[in-house]
């Protein structure tokens, strides 16, 4: 068995890292090489226990003083990574309000509301966070130009490419590096939505590639959506496909959870969405004709509402709201 000479030769304090035992009685459980009779490798604590159990001599107390703290504490087990927060799409066939133009107290009976990311969610309701993820908001274009001009789409002559209807500059999703950079920025907004209390995110203008003069592709948009879906789910938010029937099943395959459609009744597209997402569809119509058609087509199973095209608040001359 291990003798006194072994103790002198393999003194535990020689194997202990000094920087690791600032507190009395707590030291590193450092492995040391012992003679062959003790096995190829042991730990300081094991070594001392073996010595003391077979050599109970009067000098033990001195040895104990020399080896104060040699008995190691097992390292604390690392905590398992926290699971991602749970997320769920809006309840099916709920009464919805669409308030991306201006926030106001929802009508009675409404349980699901969409609001802009800069507005506060409504307490006690399921809130969707509107994010213009593929184009600039008009009042934010200067910020993009100042801070991230390289992420704005330009034609071969260096001119910004804009949405002709809304005057919004398109974000450039043409390369993996640009998509990653955009996902970092917009992903920060998504994290902010979660922190504010929203339950889902609605990334708008997915179909910006169709207005890009051939500079962007659907594949690039889907790849970017996948990054946003990953970020949303990690934050505990569901994520919508906003319009874009041409995605087919690609949006759902990228991780999208439900649909927010505009005028699917007007353009006979409602069944295109329900064939992929089932009844997880919210439709906003801006004409009486479209509203009537959508209510007749999918209104019994999904959420369909009528709004004015500028999504104004009550008190406005153009304000309209109706649900079926």
- Beta-bridge partner residues of 322: 306
Backbone angles phi, psi at 283, to 5 degrees: -120, 135
pTM given for the model: 0.74
Six token digits for residue 52: 């003391």
In contact, 298 and 277? CB cutoff 8 Å: no
- H helix runs in the chain, sequence order: 4-9, 12-15, 44-54, 60-66, 141-147, 176-196, 218-234, 250-253, 270-277, 288-298
pLDDT at 13: 35
The pLDDT value given to residue 85: 78
Tell me the backbone φ, ψ of residue 221, rounded to 5 degrees: -65, -40
pLDDT in tens, 101-120: 999 999 999 999 999 999 99
Residue ranges of domains in the chain, CATH in brackets: 4-66 (no CATH), 96-323 (3.20.20.70)
Buried b (16+ CB within 10 A) or exposed e, 114-150: bbbbebebbeebbbbbbbbbbbbbeeebeebeeebee
Asked if 45 contacts 32 with a C-beta cutoff of 8 angstroms, the reply is no
- Residue ranges of the chain with pLDDT lower than 50? 1-75
pLDDT tens-digit readout, 208-230: 999 999 999 999 999 999 999 99
CB 103 within 8 A of CB 124: no
Structure tokens at 259: 């649909």
88 dihedral zone (left: phi>0; alpha: psi -120 to 50; beta): beta
Query: Residue 87's closest CA among 242, 238, 292?
Result: 238
Q: How many CA within 13 A on the CB side of residue 221?
A: 28
Q: How many CB atoms lie within 10 A of CB 214?
A: 8
């Amino acid at each position: 068995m291990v003798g006194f000479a072994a103790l002198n030769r393999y003194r535990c304090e020689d194997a202990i890292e000094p920087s690791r035992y600032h507190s009395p009685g707590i030291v590193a459980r450092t492995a040391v090489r012992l003679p062959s009779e003790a096995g190829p490798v042991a730990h300081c604590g094991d070594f001392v226990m073996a010595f003391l159990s077979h050599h109970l001599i009067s000098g033990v107390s001195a040895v104990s003083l020399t080896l104060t703290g040699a008995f190691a504490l097992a390292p604390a087990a690392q905590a398992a990574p926290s699971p991602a927060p749970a997320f769920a799409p809006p309840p099916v066939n709920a009464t919805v309000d669409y308030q991306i133009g201006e926030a106001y107290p929802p009508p009675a009976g409404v349980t699901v509301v969409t609001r802009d990311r800069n507005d506060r969610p409504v307490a006690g309701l399921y809130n969707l966070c509107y994010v213009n993820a593929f184009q600039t908001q008009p009042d934010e274009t200067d910020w993009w130009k100042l801070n991230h001009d390289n992420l704005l789409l330009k034609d071969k002559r260096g001119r910004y490419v804009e949405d002709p209807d809304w005057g919004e500059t398109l974000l450039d999703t043409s390369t993996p590096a640009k998509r990653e950079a955009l996902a970092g920025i917009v992903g920060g907004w998504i994290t902010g939505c979660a922190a504010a209390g929203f339950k889902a995110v609605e990334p708008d203008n997915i179909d910006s590639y169709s207005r890009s003069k051939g500079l962007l592709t659907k594949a690039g948009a889907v790849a970017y959506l996948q990054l946003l879906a990953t970020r949303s789910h990690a934050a505990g938010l569901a994520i919508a496909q906003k319009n874009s029937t041409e995605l087919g099943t690609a949006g759902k395959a990228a991780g999208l959870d439900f649909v927010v459609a505009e005028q699917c009744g007007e353009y006979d597209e409602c069944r295109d969405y329900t064939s992929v997402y089932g009844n997880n569809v919210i439709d906003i119509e801006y004409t009486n004709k479209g509203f009537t058609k959508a209510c007749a087509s999918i209104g019994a199973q999904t959420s369909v509402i009528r709004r004015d095209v500028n999504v104004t608040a009550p008190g406005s001359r153009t304000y309209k709201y109706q649900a079926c």
